[in-house]
Amino acid sequence: MLSHRERPVLRRRRHRASGGRVAPIYSEKRVRLLLISCRSPFLQDDRIYPPLGLLYLKSAALREVDGAQVTIADDYDLDDLAPLADFDVIGVSVMTPQRAEARRIVRSVKARWPDKVVVAGGPHVLHYTEDMEQDPWDHLVRGDGERVLPRILRREPVPRISHEVLPAAELASMPPPDRLGEREFLRHYHYRLDGLDATTMLLGRGCPMACKFCEDARTTTRWTSPANAERELSDIVELGYRAVYLFDDLFAINLRRCAPYLRLLKAHRLRFRCNVHARFMTDEFAAALADAGCAEVAFGAESGSQAMLDRMDKKTTVAQNYACVEHCKRHGMAVKAFLMIGLPGETRQTIAETERFLMDSGVDDAQIAIYYPYRGTRFRQEMDDGAIADLVFEGEGLGAYGQRDLGSDAAVRTPTLTSDDLLEIRRTLITRYRLRSHLGPHDHFFDMHLAGVQEGG
């Protein structure tokens, strides 16, 4: 909790900036920034994966703004705003299921301090800009925030709505997340992988694939530099972590590109988990991942029906999905499949084919989601344009694929499956196959829409 007692301590803290330089907080020109990670009360536990995006933004602010004081908070009390009084700028990272909480934050702050600068970023801002404009945000940061936020802190002219995508070379040179300066904050999070204390890491942003259900499809793919990756891994080891989840949408799609990072992971003796793609998985690739210390892979199998894979433009085959599992398990890695039901064209027969994949493929775990038509996806655009006749969007819901107590949104229906049918089918599959991502122990790996650093941090 950001309490009254902590405020003097916050003002005395010193932060390690890029290159090992220690920057004092006290400065006549200092600006005080609070970065808030919205709470997610709809989850069983929202303290699994730390908010990487805010750690990146903190590092960028410390490097670019002399004397900046940056605090990250994920516990706050909107009934007691006094601890927020000393901050000049408040930044809020917003995922779609957190939009109501973000609205409460900005309205509460602006009611108390109309002149305090409040900034919103994150994937919800990128795709729901018009909705966000209705609330009193001073700035809406669409895209990457590492350049825009320092300009706001320096009080330079910045439009209310900005949109930047950092070039690959610039992103590669950005300072790594300030993990060492946030030791206490990171202790609030308790992710475990392969029985080991673990944290998260991002080696690249963007996804080159074209899946129609995904708002990150066809986004610019940019990698961090091996030098930055080395620094991050050293910080992770120094903090006592023994495993890491590589949060990239798709890390393992090019063995040659992955090789330098695999060597670093192996040298630091870290177990890791990563996301792979069935189309690019080979026995050689699986062997390289395992040799570097990969304990588990996850991939978007999505469906056991070829007709459904083709409809969503997945550019994979059911046979490739089976082969992906076989390659990875042959080399001792656990395999988790992301599966989705309720897409255009879904029937009980196509779901039966997906269940067959669950039974026969050998996957160790799976997440089953009911498709939610987020703005920014090709399917949603086609629905808005009236180009899809076999899926009906029943209206905006929470927008979270995973919720406490096996809950889920069901905001769509097909000609043969109601939203209630989809909820019942999902629950049946989860309980029939005892899928541990949903039944526990909860690793909340299903919570991809809340966890990653997407454009906007």
Q: Which two tokens stand for residue 282?
A: 């080979």
What are the tens digits of pLDDT across the range 274-294?
A: 999 999 999 999 999 999 999
So what's the pLDDT on residue 404? 82
The pLDDT-based confidence of 298 (bands split at 50, 70, 90) is very high
Cα 438 off chain centre by: 18
Q: Using alpha carbons, select from 402, 455, 443 the residue that is nearest to residue 93.
A: 455
So what's the pLDDT on residue 3? 38
Q: Using alpha carbons, select from 60, 33, 205, 2 the residue that is nearest to residue 119.
A: 33
So what's the pLDDT on residue 57? 97
427-448 core/surface letters (b: 16 or more CB in 10 A; e: else) = eebbeebebbbbeeebbbbbbb
Give the position of tokens 């080991």: 196
Task: Classify strands 89-93 and 117-121 as parallel, antiparallel or unpaired.
Answer: parallel
Contact 2, 83 (CB under 8 A): yes
Phi, then psi, of 366 in degrees rounded to 5: -155, 150
Classify residue 212 by its DSSP letter: T
Sequence-distant (6+) residues with CB within 8 A of 435 are 365, 366, 367, 368, 429
Q: Cα angle vertex 244, ends 221, 362, to 5°?
A: 85
Residue 2's alpha-carbon distances to 8, 9, 45, 161, in angstroms, are 11, 11, 19, 29
Which of 28-42, 126-140, 160-174, 285-299 has the lowest average pLDDT? 28-42
Using CA of residue 271, residue 275, residue 279, residue 280, what is the dihedral sign? negative
For each of the domains in the chain, give its residue range(s) and CATH number, in order of start.
6-172 (3.40.50.280), 190-451 (3.80.30.20)
Angstrom distance (rounded) from CA 378 to CA 384? 10
Contact 363, 325 (CB under 8 A): yes
Across the strands, what pairs with 252?
276
Angstrom distance (rounded) from CA 124 to CA 135? 14
pTM (two decimals): 0.89
Across the strands, what pairs with 274?
297
The pLDDT-based confidence of 29 (bands split at 50, 70, 90) is low
Sequence-distant (6+) residues with CB within 8 A of 116 are 87, 88, 89, 90, 109, 110
Q: Using alpha carbons, select from 403, 370, 229 the residue that is nearest to residue 302.
A: 370
% of the chain at pLDDT higher than 70: 90
Q: Which two tokens stand for residue 33?
A: 């920034």
What are the tens digits of pLDDT across the range 160-215?
A: 999 999 999 998 889 999 999 999 999 999 999 999 999 999 999 999 999 999 99
> Residue 39 carries which side chain, given as an amino acid letter?
R
The pLDDT-based confidence of 439 (bands split at 50, 70, 90) is confident
Angstrom distance (rounded) from CA 266 to CA 253? 19
Q: Which two tokens stand for residue 50?
A: 């730390």
256-288 core/surface letters (b: 16 or more CB in 10 A; e: else) = eebeebbebbeebebbbbbbbbbebbeeebbbb
So what's the pLDDT on residue 440? 67
Angstrom distance (rounded) from CA 370 to CA 346? 11
The pLDDT-based confidence of 5 (bands split at 50, 70, 90) is very low
